[in-house]
A and B are shown apart, each in its own frame.
Chain A
Amino acid sequence: MEGLLFAIYVFVLAVFIGFEVINKVPQILHTPLMSGSNAISGITLIGALVVAGRLEGPLSTAIGIAAVALATINVVGGFLVTDRMLQMFRRKPDGER
Chain B
Amino acid sequence: MNAHAGFTQLVIDAAYLVASVLFILGLKRLSSPATARGGNALGATGMLIAVLATLLDREIVGFSGILVGVLIGSAIGVVAARAVKMTAMPQMVALLNGFGGGASVLVATDEYLRVTGGLTTATVDVALTIVLSVLIGAVTFSGSLVAFGKLQEIVTGRAVTYPLQKTLNALLGAGILVLAARLTVGAPDEMLYWMLIAAALVLGVLLVIPIGGADMPVVISLLNSYSGLAASATGFVLHNNVLIIGGALVGASGIILTQIMCRAMNRSLTNVLFGAFGAVAQTGAGGAAAGDRTVREVSAEDAAILMGYARSVVIVPGYGLAVAQAQHQVRDLANLLEARGVDVKYAIHPVAGRMPGHMNVLLAEANVPYDQLWEMERINPEFERTDVVLVIGANDVVNPAARTQPDSPLYGMPILDVDKAQHVIVMKRSMNPGFAGVDNELFYRENTRMLFGDAKQSLTKLVQEAKAMQEA
Task: Please list the residues of chain A having a beta carbon within 8 angstroms of any beta carbon in chain B.
Answer: 1, 3-4, 7, 10-11, 14-19, 21-56, 59-61, 63-93, 97
Question: What residues of chain A lie closer than 8 Å to B109, measured between beta carbons?
Answer: 63
Q: With A24-B31, A27-B260 known to touch, is A52 a contact of B241 (CB < 8 Å)?
A: no
Inter-chain contact A86/B36, CB cutoff 8 Å: yes
Size band of the interface chain B makes with A: 35 or more
Report B81-96 CB contacts with A as 1/0, cut-off 8 Å. Answer: 1101010010011001
Question: What residues of chain A lie closer than 8 Å to B350, measured between beta carbons?
Answer: 27
- Which residue of the partner chain, among A10, A70, A76, A91, contacts B81 with CB atoms under 8 Å? A76
For A3, the closest partner residue in chain B by CB is B239
Report if B431 contacts A (CB, 8 A). no
Task: Please list the residues of chain B having a beta carbon within 8 angstroms of any beta carbon in chain A.
Answer: 19, 23-24, 26-28, 30-34, 36-37, 39-41, 43-44, 46-47, 50-51, 54-55, 57, 59-63, 65-66, 68-70, 72-74, 76-78, 80-82, 84, 86, 89, 92-93, 96-97, 99-100, 102-104, 106-107, 109-110, 113-114, 119, 123-125, 128-129, 220-221, 224, 227-228, 230-232, 234-254, 256-257, 260, 348, 350, 355-358, 360-361, 364-365, 367, 369-373, 375
For B372, the closest partner residue in chain A by CB is A92
Inter-chain contact B114/A56, CB cutoff 8 Å: yes
Inter-chain contact A41/B36, CB cutoff 8 Å: no
Question: What residues of chain B lie closer than 8 Å to A32, measured between beta carbons?
Answer: 30, 36, 40, 357, 361
- With A69-B69, A70-B103, A77-B77 already in contact, 13 other A-B pairs whose C-beta atoms are closer than 8 Å: A14-B252, A26-B375, A37-B253, A38-B97, A38-B100, A40-B43, A43-B242, A44-B234, A47-B234, A49-B60, A63-B109, A76-B74, A80-B82
A80–B26 alpha-carbon span in the complex (Å) = 14
In terms of DSSP, what is the predominant structure of the interface of chain B? helix
Inter-chain contact A35/B96, CB cutoff 8 Å: yes
**8 shortest A-B CB distances, which residue pairs?**
A72-B73, A18-B252, A68-B69, A30-B357, A76-B77, A53-B60, A14-B248, A77-B77
Inter-chain contact A53/B248, CB cutoff 8 Å: no
Q: How many A-B residue pairs have CB under 8 A?
A: 379
Question: What residues of chain B lie closer than 8 Å to A44, measured between beta carbons?
Answer: 100, 103-104, 107, 230-231, 234, 243, 247
For A61, the closest partner residue in chain B by CB is B65
Inter-chain contact A37/B369, CB cutoff 8 Å: no
Inter-chain contact B40/A77, CB cutoff 8 Å: no
A35–B94 alpha-carbon span in the complex (Å) = 9
Inter-chain contact A40/B23, CB cutoff 8 Å: yes
- Which residue of the partner chain, among A4, A48, A81, contacts B236 with CB atoms under 8 Å? A4
Inter-chain contact B93/A38, CB cutoff 8 Å: yes
A76–B97 alpha-carbon span in the complex (Å) = 13
Inter-chain contact B106/A53, CB cutoff 8 Å: no
Question: What residues of chain A lie closer than 8 Å to B367, measured between beta carbons?
Answer: 90
For A81, the closest partner residue in chain B by CB is B81
Question: What residues of chain B lie closer than 8 Å to A15, measured between beta carbons?
Answer: 248, 251-252
Inter-chain contact B228/A41, CB cutoff 8 Å: yes
B461 → chain A closest CB, angstroms: 27
Question: What residues of chain B lie closer than 8 Å to A34, measured between beta carbons?
Answer: 93, 220-221, 224, 253-254, 257, 355-357
Question: What residues of chain B lie closer than 8 Å to A89, measured between beta carbons?
Answer: 33, 36, 360, 364, 370
Question: What residues of chain A lie closer than 8 Å to B28, measured between beta carbons?
Answer: 21, 24
30 A/B residue pairs, CB under 8 Å, sorted by A: A4-B236, A16-B252, A18-B251, A26-B33, A30-B356, A32-B40, A33-B253, A33-B257, A33-B357, A34-B224, A37-B250, A39-B47, A40-B26, A40-B46, A42-B47, A42-B96, A49-B57, A54-B61, A61-B65, A64-B65, A67-B110, A68-B70, A69-B72, A75-B73, A75-B77, A76-B81, A81-B81, A83-B37, A86-B36, A97-B371
Question: What residues of chain B lie closer than 8 Å to A33, measured between beta carbons?
Answer: 27, 30, 253, 257, 356-357
Question: What residues of chain A lie closer than 8 Å to B245, measured between beta carbons?
Answer: 10-11, 14
A2–B121 alpha-carbon span in the complex (Å) = 17
A11–B69 alpha-carbon span in the complex (Å) = 29
Question: What residues of chain B lie closer than 8 Å to A72, measured between beta carbons?
Answer: 69-70, 72-74, 77
Inter-chain contact B244/A14, CB cutoff 8 Å: yes
Question: What residues of chain B lie closer than 8 Å to A64, measured between beta carbons?
Answer: 65-66, 69, 106, 110
Question: What residues of chain A lie closer than 8 Å to B243, measured between beta carbons?
Answer: 43-44, 46-47
Question: What residues of chain A lie closer than 8 Å to B360, measured between beta carbons?
Answer: 27-31, 89
A14–B113 alpha-carbon span in the complex (Å) = 30
Inter-chain contact B231/A43, CB cutoff 8 Å: yes
Q: With A40-B246, A91-B370 known to touch, is A45 a contact of B96 (CB < 8 Å)?
A: no
B357 → chain A closest CB, angstroms: 3
Question: What residues of chain A lie closer than 8 Å to B221, measured between beta carbons?
Answer: 34
Question: What residues of chain A lie closer than 8 Å to B65, measured between beta carbons?
Answer: 52-53, 55, 61, 64-65, 68
